[in-house]
């Protein structure tokens, strides 16, 4: 298990380095160094949505939410259920593939890219006739790390959308709210119309 976690952490770092490069961030390790930090607050979770009977009912197994951290590397067995919501009320199923990773941008990466990468809302349905297992690595900064977009992400056309915060502050906010609440909105810098347009 430790080997698996080390491998997905390395994968997360490589993806983050490519994202930084693609965004022309001068320091390509700007995002990945937060989860390479020895004090990083990353964690690993195994979800099990057990089958119960054979009556073909569908329930929500894991309610709608966005992942608060930087990047999530998720893998599941061959049972479907994961859905993403690119727009309010729209749900798109993610085809199950036990040989593939599903990579989610987390709220912190949305803040650090000044809204260029969006933390997608998702949920997991649970089918009564099939048992779903998923395992997720959540790459997170150290509690005291300061989350802010690098200067390259902030321009006159795209002013800083979010005020800087520490991961400890963000985590405390997330835990004080309900799973489905949009916590990143509480960190928006200013609420004038231009800012709002960028977030739509």
Ligand X SMILES: O=C(O)CCC(=O)C(=O)O
- As annotated, the active-site residues are 132
Q: Which residues would be at the binding site for ligand X (CB under 6 A)?
A: 45, 47, 62, 67, 74, 76, 82, 122, 124, 134, 136
CA distance linking residue 40 with residue 144, whole number of Å: 9
Pick the piece of the chain touching Fe ion (CB under 5 A) from 20-28, 48-56, 61-69, 107-115.
61-69
Name, in order, each residue with C-beta under 8 angstroms of 161's C-beta and a sequence gap of 6 or more: 111, 114, 115, 149, 188, 189, 195, 198, 199
Q: Which two tokens stand for residue 131?
A: 């048992």
Nearest distance from C-beta of residue 95 to ligand X, angstroms: 12
Nearest distance from C-beta of residue 196 to ligand X, angstroms: 27
Q: Which two tokens stand for residue 48?
A: 């099990």
Q: Is 107 in the site for Fe ion (CB under 5 A)?
A: no
Q: Is 41 in the site for Fe ion (CB under 5 A)?
A: no
Please identify which residue in the block is written with the tokens 């479907």: 80
Q: Which of ligand X, Fe ion, none lies near 131, with the C-beta cut-off 5 to 8 A by kind? A: none
Q: Which of ligand X, Fe ion, none lies near 153, with the C-beta cut-off 5 to 8 A by kind? A: none
Options 8, 20, 67, 165; binder of Fe ion; rule CB under 5 A? 67
Residue 167, Cβ density class (10 Å: 0-12 exposed, 13-18 middle, ≥19 buried): buried
What does the binding site for Fe ion look like in residue numbers (CB under 5 A)? 67
């Amino acid at each position: 298990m430790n080997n698996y976690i080390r491998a997905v952490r390395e994968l997360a770092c490589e993806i983050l380095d490519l994202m930084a490069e693609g965004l022309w961030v001068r320091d390509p390790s700007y995002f990945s160094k937060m989860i390479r930090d020895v004090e990083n607050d990353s964690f690993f979770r195994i979800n099990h949505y057990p089958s119960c009977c054979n009556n073909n009912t569908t329930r929500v197994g894991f309610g709608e939410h966005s992942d608060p951290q930087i990047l999530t590397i998720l893998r599941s067995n061959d049972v479907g259920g994961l859905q993403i919501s690119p727009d309010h009320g729209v749900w798109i199923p993610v085809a199950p593939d036990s040989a593939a990773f599903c990579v989610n941008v987390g709220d912190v990466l949305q803040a650090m890219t000044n809204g260029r990468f969006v933390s997608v809302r998702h949920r997991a349905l649970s089918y009564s006739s099939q048992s779903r297992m998923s395992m997720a690595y959540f790459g997170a900064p150290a509690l005291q790390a300061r989350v802010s977009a690098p200067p390259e992400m902030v321009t006159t056309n795209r002013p800083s959308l979010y005020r800087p915060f520490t991961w400890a502050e963000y985590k405390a906010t997330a835990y004080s709210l309900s799973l489905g609440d949009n916590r990143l909105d509480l960190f928006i810098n200013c609420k004038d119309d231009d800012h709002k347009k960028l977030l739509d």
